[in-house]
Structure 1
Amino acid sequence: MKIKQYKVSKKISLANTDTFEEIADAKNKLKNIRRKISELQDIMYAHGKYGMLICLQGMDTSGKDSLVREVFKDVNARGVVVHSFKSPTSAELKHDFLWRHYIALPERGKIGIFNRTHYENVLVTRVHPRYILGEKIPSVTSVDDLNDAFYHKRMERIVNFEEHIVESGIIVLKFFLHLSKEEQKNRLFRRLNRKEKNWKFSIDDLKERKLWSAYQECYEDAINRTSKKFAPWYVVPADDKASARLIVAETILQTLNNHKDIKAPSLDSETLARLDEYKAQLAKD
Structure 2
Amino acid sequence: MNYSIDNVLPNFRLDGRLAILTGGSGGLASVISRALLAQGAEVALVDMNLERTVAAAREVVLWGEETVKSETPLGKVSAWACNIGDAESVETTFAQINEDHGKIADLLINTAGYCENYPAEEYPALNAEGIMKVNGLGAFYVSQSFARPLIANNKPGSIILIGSMSGTIVNDPQPQALYNMSKAGVIHLARSLACEWAKYNIRVNTLSPGYILTPLTRNVISGHTEMKDAWESKIPMKRMAEPKEFVGSILYLASDTASSYTTGHNLVVDGGYECW
TM-score by length of 2: 0.41
Higher relative contact order (CA 8 A, sep 6+): 1
Which structure's CA Rg is the greater one? Answer: 1
TM-score by length of 1: 0.40
